């Protein structure tokens, strides 16, 4: 842990808390043993604190698209179907393997091709088939979201008597037709051939673009076609439409065999480093779904109820989607260590240098001199200071701890008390979540926090600071526990049973297994996220807060979400030389994705061009924490990434803060060389400090 004998101050802050962790860890281990590895996680009810209600002038009206029974509950603000409830609701969403667009009382389905360059990959939406009612008295009536879940959304076209069960990973588009309604299916490519079987329940649609679609009906349906339109007589029942992605006869037989079994919704049950998918299935037979590459890697090998069909494949922005038979899946994430201190320990010879840097960094702490009012930059300053206290604890240098603790109190308390006049947290009843004073009447205030952008990024920094402060001053933590949990549950709440004031897992996508950051902004390419490391920090910090408060369930929730976020970053953001998910042209030019969208991969950042590879690396590293060791555990990839980024490191001293992150990763395999570079830096990014960089480099073993 470090050199030097502990004094009474060190004993009070460190040894006491270490002893308090023993029963917590024993309790956590006992809980896993009793409940089972895949048991559903629940957070015990807390005293639920609400920040003052804020009246936003910029938030959209949820009742425009959500059914009346849903608008009285907290609503998702970073969901996979968010475009369906913003503005005109007519931007496509990627519901693997198809793009789905709802407009003018119709649903269009697209099996997207890709536009590929060395700088980006994007899906091209082309409405292959558009489904509507033939005689609709209100053709411009909006759709309605009547229900949603972790893995699905039910979209109704009320004037058309059509209900679409949009379930992620289904190779079929499934919809119910009520009221003996005539339907119309239009195409953008001429129909070459429409044929049916003898029962009139299976039709094959061949288009000039070489696509073949198969339509299955739960009862006989009579279809006729002209050049670009297919029409039916009156029909009531269920229709499923699937692309025949492979002309192999076995592929079609599998689609035929599984066509009568359809999911209407799907849920995800979070366990300890585990996730269970369960679909609500109608019809007789076996359920066919599609798994993305990370699903396939995490599917439990011991689950005999699931069969992977290697020959059933659909292309995807996220890699090949492979067929899986089974209406429940068990996913097992690799467990990760959540530690306050370095995982491998420090080189004892380095401690004097770290202590000198700590002394200099602590001298800069003066809350009265802080000019930042943005919730993001202010939170980063809080977390930066909190790191100093933990590093001091690890190197047995308690002298600075009271200074850091007081600084953290001076910084954090005004936000929790509502006395920080320049800004503050408020509660929005319309969607159900936190907003800031800056965001009440400005969509760009606090980088869009008021319209639910980047919540996990901002709040993760505060939660980190609160966790550290609670570790060193448990009485303070007890005093502010309700406010602390209100912050963390804004993005980690597991549902209304846990906290009725917040939506379920605001940012985390339980199908993609990573977070989205975009909030209530309509984007043609869907949701997006830039910084995976800040997302990881949010859940890692939640786990630390659980540790600080003796809450084993919060430790498990935070740790599990962090583990999934890490594995998603390694799958979709980290672009290794042997990457098979993205096109070779993109892989050759990029070692890390800048902005990852639902249906696009971009090399640019929101605040920097693609050429600034050092910044692109940095935004996937900051803040440097013990958990960073796990994120960048592949040394061969780190070498590729650093070599690539070093080519754009500026030689002047105007942006030295970003250099530190490149050198930090270089230290994983060239410790001395990186150390010398860091010692020469004269400035650091506000999410970092010299003592933190030295701590990181000297913990390389």
Other Cβ atoms within 10 Å of 190 Cβ, number: 11
Active-site entry in 454, 602, 640, 685: 454
End-to-end CA gap in the chain: 14
Other Cβ atoms within 10 Å of 178 Cβ, number: 12
Q: What is the DSSP code (8-state) at residue 175?
A: E
- Distance between CA atoms of 454 and 25, rounded to whole angstroms? 31
Contact 598, 316 (CB under 8 A): no
Contact 463, 541 (CB under 8 A): yes
CB-side neighbour CA atoms (13 Å) of 249 = 0
Element holding 196 (H helix, E strand): strand 191-196
Active-site entry in 534, 551, 614, 629: 534
Active-site entry in 330, 530, 551, 602: 530
Cα angle: 155, vertex 158, 203; to 5 degrees: 70
Ramachandran category for residue 89: left, alpha or beta (phi over 0 → left; psi -120 to 50 → alpha): left
Contact 49, 421 (CB under 8 A): no
Contact 264, 165 (CB under 8 A): yes
Contact 516, 604 (CB under 8 A): no
Q: Where are the alpha helices (DSSP H) in 550-626?
A: 552-568, 584-589, 613-618
DSSP for 223-268? EEE-SSEEEEEEEEEEEEEEE--S--HHHHHHHHHHTT-EEEEEEE
> Cis bond leading into 623, ω under 30°?
yes
- Distance between CA atoms of 256 and 553, rounded to whole angstroms? 44
Instruction: Give the number of residues written for the chain.
Output: 701
Q: What string of H, E and C letters represents the secondary structure of 319-349? A: CCEEEEECCEEEEECCCCCCCCCCCCCCCHH
- Distance between CA atoms of 202 and 95, rounded to whole angstroms? 24
- Distance between CA atoms of 491 and 456, rounded to whole angstroms? 6
Cα angle: 645, vertex 649, 652; to 5 degrees: 175
Known catalytic residue at 454: yes
Known catalytic residue at 580: no
Other Cβ atoms within 10 Å of 342 Cβ, number: 20
- Number of H-type helices and E-type strands within the chain: 19, 28
Contact 612, 648 (CB under 8 A): yes
Active site residues: 454, 530, 534
């Amino acid at each position: 842990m470090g050199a030097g004998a502990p004094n009474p101050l060190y004993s009070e802050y460190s040894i006491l808390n270490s002893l308090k962790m023993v029963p917590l860890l024993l309790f956590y281990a006992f809980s896993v043993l009793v409940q089972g590895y895949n048991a559903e996680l629940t957070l015990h009810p807390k005293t639920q604190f609400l920040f003052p209600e804020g009246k936003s002038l910029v938030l959209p009206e949820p009742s425009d698209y959500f059914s009346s029974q849903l608008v009285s509950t907290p609503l998702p603000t970073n969901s996979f179907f968010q475009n369906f409830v913003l503005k005109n609701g007519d931007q496509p969403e990627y519901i693997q393997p198809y793009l789905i667009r709802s407009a003018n009382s119709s649903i269009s389905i697209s099996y997207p091709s890709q536009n590929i360059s060395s700088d980006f990959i994007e899906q091209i939406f082309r409405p292959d088939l558009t489904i509507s009612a033939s005689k609709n008295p209100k053709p411009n009536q909006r759709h309605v979201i009547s229900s949603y879940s972790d893995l699905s959304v039910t979209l109704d076209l009320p004037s058309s008597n059509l209900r679409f069960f949009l379930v992620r990973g289904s190779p079929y588009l499934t919809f119910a037709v009520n009221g003996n309604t005539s339907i119309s299916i239009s195409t953008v490519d001429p129909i070459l051939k429409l044929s049916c079987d003898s029962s009139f329940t299976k039709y094959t649609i061949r288009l000039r673009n070489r696509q073949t679609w198969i339509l299955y009906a739960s009862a006989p349906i009579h279809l006729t076609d002209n050049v670009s339109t297919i029409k039916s007589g009156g029909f009531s029942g269920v229709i499923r439409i699937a692309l025949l992605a492979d002309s192999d006869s076995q592929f079609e037989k599998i689609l035929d065999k599984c066509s009568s079994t359809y999911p209407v919704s799907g849920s995800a049950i979070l366990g300890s480093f585990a996730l269970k998918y369960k679909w609500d299935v109608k019809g007789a037979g076996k359920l066919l779904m599609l798994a993305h590459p990370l699903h396939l890697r995490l599917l439990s090998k011991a689950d005999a109820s699931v069969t992977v069909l290697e020959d059933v494949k659909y292309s995807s922005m996220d890699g090949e989607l492979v067929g899986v038979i089974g209406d429940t899946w068990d996913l097992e994430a690799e467990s990760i260590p959540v530690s306050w201190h370095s995982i491998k320990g420090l080189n004892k010879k380095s401690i004097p240098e770290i202590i000198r840097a700590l002394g200099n960094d602590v001298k800069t702490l003066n809350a009265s001199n802080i000019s930042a009012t943005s919730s993001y930059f202010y939170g980063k300053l809080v977390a930066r200071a909190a790191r100093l206290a933990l590093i001091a604890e690890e190197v047995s240098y308690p002298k600075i701890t009271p200074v850091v603790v007081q600084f953290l109190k001076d910084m954090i308390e005004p936000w929790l008390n509502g006395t920080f006049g320049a800004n503050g947290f408020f509660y929005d009843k319309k969607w159900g979540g936190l907003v800031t004073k800056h965001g009440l009447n400005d969509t760009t205030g606090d980088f869009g926090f008021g319209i639910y952008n980047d919540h996990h990024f901002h709040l993760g920094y505060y939660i980190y600071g609160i966790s550290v402060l609670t570790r060193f001053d448990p009485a303070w933590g007890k005093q502010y526990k309700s406010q602390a949990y209100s912050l963390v549950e804004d993005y980690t709440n597991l549902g209304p049973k846990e906290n009725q004031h917040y939506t379920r897992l605001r940012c985390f996508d339980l199908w993609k297994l990573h977070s989205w950051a975009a909030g209530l902004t309509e984007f043609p390419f869907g949701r997006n996220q830039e910084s995976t490391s800040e997302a990881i920090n949010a859940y890692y910090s939640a786990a630390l807060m659980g540790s600080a408060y003796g809450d084993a369930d919060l430790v498990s929730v935070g740790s599990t979400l962090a583990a999934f976020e890490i594995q998603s970053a390694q799958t979709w953001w980290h672009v290794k030389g042997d990457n098979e998910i993205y096109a070779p042209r993109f892989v050759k030019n990029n070692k890390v994705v800048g902005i990852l969208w639902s249906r696009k991969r971009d090399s640019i950042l929101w605040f920097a061009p693609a050429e600034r590879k050092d910044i692109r690396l940095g935004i996937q590293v900051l803040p440097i924490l013990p958990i960073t060791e796990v994120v960048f555990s592949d040394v061969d990839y780190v070498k590729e990434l650093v070599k690539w980024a070093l080519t754009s490191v500026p030689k002047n001293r105007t942006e030295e803060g970003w250099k530190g992150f490149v050198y930090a990763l270089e230290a994983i395999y060239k410790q001395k060389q990186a150390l010398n570079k860091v010692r020469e830096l004269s400035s650091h990014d506000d999410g970092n400090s010299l003592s933190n960089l030295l701590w990181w480099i000297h913990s390389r073993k």
